Structure 1
Amino acid sequence: MNWPIVIEISKLLLTIPEETIPFIRNVLNGHDDIWKEWCLRYFVMELPRELRHRLQEEIERIAHRPTKGEELEEVHITAMEIIKDKSI
């Protein structure tokens, strides 16, 4: 991630996951594949397990039926890591 304060921002967003999940869903359903990767890695992976299931459909779609861009950016690999973690 190329924004200097992004790690701190992601930690802040994790303090209000209920409010943030709908926006993360929008990213995961969008077309910015790099942004998807960072959202999965720095937000979804850090969510409490009981909240990850709310993004299950999007995570499974990326893992099992990635777009060409998701494959190129290896977003599907991160989604698979989340699924293998048995957290959803």
Structure 2
Amino acid sequence: MTATTIRPVAIKIDEDTKLRVKRLADARQRTSHWLMREAITQYVDREEKREAFRQDALKAWEDFRSNGLHVTADEADAWMAQLEQGNDIEPPECHV
């Protein structure tokens, strides 16, 4: 395992936001620094997942455009209704 190098980074925020962060950090019994690091980490994690989802959707669209395979909305709805009822069934077959 390699050690992660942590380097300071300066950010500029307005005074109101700075006070809000300070109040929230105090209420959580944390430092403002900890709160900002946590907020940035959560934001980056969320946005990476959002970007991965977007890339998956673009790939699915390109796959559909190249091969035409799909399921209808009715087929997908029927499958999901079975899953909601606790029936672990296979997804419907794709077709052209």
Q: TM-score range by the shorter chain?
A: under 0.3
Per chain length, whose mean CA-contact separation is higher, i.e. which structure has more relative contact order (CA < 8 Å, sep 6+)?
1
Q: Larger Cα Rg: Structure 1 or Structure 2?
A: 2
